[in-house]
Chain A
């Protein structure tokens, strides 16, 4: 019992919220493109570039806020290139996304070398993170105060964005048009809604959020930049987007699941469980969740696979007798 108490407490929830925030930001960004009908695998690269330029901007200006803007601008530039290639030149989304991810990875490494002459990671150099928000009276509220206070600003942004996103998709014109362009482009076209314009807008909005997610990684979650520090969060966001179909509520649920297993695995390390095993936990959870959800969402493919397997294995009946595999209808 004591172990469970040490494992599951308010601190674990706080850790969950912390680990959820970056992936929630990038996944919400991806919901713009997902709902506009673009399979955006380039989230990872946009996030990484955002993280890098947020650090660069902070070091050169001394202000993490200017750094944040630099990070967003960099991610936005990458998002613009993505939109240009995918929407205007109709290149394959997966190829472009992968290429830009590789570009972002390589670019950050070589710029790190060129500017600071090092490899690996960068901290110090006058790098300051975003200030921690201390909500007044939080101290008097006990465990609840502990839960709501003391995060960096982008954690609040991430969670407050969820209801705003729900409102955006249900009640605003742009939100509605993004949905229509993704679900039924012919309908949009027939009504004079420009598909290209909406897809550009969605891609750029996605870039802003991915940039914020990156800046949060390097200025809020930590105060440093490490090579490949997005470490698959962008891809995890893509996975969450596939099973949530871009719906903000389900994105939140998926991100919390991932954040929780991430926080739990960090906890387990302190209990002496092998770190390699523990680090695999969030990915295993995500895989299982994905499989469970897609199993339900894609009955047809699975049905057909099972049916054809069944037929291949079945002994062919030669008489008019009903094969035993066929059940009477209720």
Chain B
């Protein structure tokens, strides 16, 4: 039987940069095939080539054994390939059914037949076990359901091979499990699933075959059953990396940060924080887990002074931080590694050394009498670049010329080199590859051992389990549980993240303001 998809020595260049170099990929019909690799390994480029979004410079594409040319996505769709992108492409003001049939509307007398579209969507949803209400407006739905709509869109176009780009990045563990169930249902119906990921556990759990990409080249293609997690990591990174829980000595320090009954509103004016209370002690890493959008962003913004609290207090040692400006809070001894480094962490156009200076440009010995001490800055920049292993051409290079991981190291170098007692660290390894992640984790551990109090907010559970001494789970603006980082299971975290409490009761999300 011919293979569902075969790519032969695909090469794709962007200027002098080679994104894919002679990549071969053979996908058997009726299988779940995972493509795994670090950021920048060329996974998405390869899939865009297969979906007709990019044209390969060399190589050929075979579908069901037939050579094809895919000049655009429409051609790929016509050959039975569908793609669920990492960033959903749904129109919020339209209904589920309108979104599913967008571009292939059912017409009656020249007008769109909404009733027929709703009926067809309901039919597809039943047939493939993807539960949605076809008449709901997409803007009101959760991310998990949006993903189902994207999959329905692909199915409505008659796809037999479905490409999913990082499908679980936005889902809770339970939602991910549902998705995997759906995908297994697809292959049972004889369809083929191609699945891009850098989450090792998922790949191990759901795929039949794995292809590993590194630096744009195919490293290996093997049946998943023959591999272990550490084999995969080694192939992805090219060397051994440990992701296990970091060993540590207990450090029982005094209380540094006390948060009491904190309330705050989000940008829409709804309550994003609903009475959050916790402490962070010196020499302790407290992790905040939760699906993105459950108040973690607002918590970080309130603690750093970027968003006003509507009620409650924040105290650092004996000093109240409540209502202080961001600048005053920094001055009181809080360092902040923001969740979105390009927006709040760095000035992309400024040099590495100026970014290392920012926030303390008015303090001795960085400046004297309002004039920056260039010599001292140069010397400190050199030392920090070395200590934090920031890979840059020079200290004068603009930050935007660095990779994501190295930009993050610039932020860490600046924030961790001050004399803050409390470190607020938000998504430190988002979009950072495995090598840099390891270095960043080591640095966070060093800060802990030096007696800093650390609040680590992350959507990556393995990161929290590896680093945190205690893990607080946030759901709908509340803290659902306070768990021992050394003894917690991902499953337990997953339930709390989905709003199911210790006793199995589902906590309702309150939408009132």
Contact = CB atoms under 8 A, between A and B. Distances in A.
A189 B72 CA distance: 10
Given A180-B91, A307-B308, A320 B315 contact: yes
A311 B302 CA distance: 13
Given A184-B90, A184-B91, A311-B325, A172 B112 contact: yes
A299 to B, nearest CB: 6
Given A192-B72, A311-B308, A317-B323, A183 B263 contact: no
Interface in B122-167: none
Interface stretch (A92-100, A154-162, A228-236, A322-330): A322-330
Nearest to A183: B91
Contacts of A299: 268-269
A175 to B, nearest CB: 9
A18 interface: no
B139 to A, nearest CB: 10
B66 interface: no
B97 to A, nearest CB: 12
Q: B93, B271, B322: which has the most chain A beta carbons within 10 Å? A: B322
A14 interface: no
Interface in A67-100: none
B427 interface: no
Contact of B112 (A173, A191, A320): A173
Interface in B92-123: 92-94, 98-99, 102-103, 105, 107, 110-112, 114
Contacts of A191: 73, 89, 102-103
Interface in B174-198: none
B230 interface: no
Nearest to A190: B89
Interface residues of A, number: 37
Contact of A316 (B110, B308, B324): B324
A45 B192 CA distance: 56
A322 B92 CA distance: 41
Given A176-B98, A192-B73, A323-B323, A329 B313 contact: no
B329 to A, nearest CB: 11
Interface in A276-330: 299-300, 303, 307, 310-311, 314, 316-323, 325-329
B315 A176 contact: no
Interface in B297-347: 308-313, 315, 318-320, 322-325, 328
A299 B320 CA distance: 29
B85 interface: yes
B72 A327 contact: no
A192 B103 contact: yes
A164 interface: no
B320 A326 contact: no
A107 interface: no
Q: A171, A300, A317: which has the most chain B beta carbons within 10 Å? A: A171
B358 interface: no
6 contacts: A173-B105, A191-B89, A191-B103, A192-B73, A192-B74, A317-B322
Interface of B: 72-74, 77, 85, 87, 89-94, 98-99, 102-103, 105, 107, 110-112, 114, 263, 267-269, 271, 275, 308-313, 315, 318-320, 322-325, 328
Interface of A: 167, 170-173, 176, 179-180, 183-184, 186-187, 189-193, 299-300, 303, 307, 310-311, 314, 316-323, 325-329
Closest 4 CB pairs of A and B: A191-B103, A187-B89, A192-B74, A171-B111
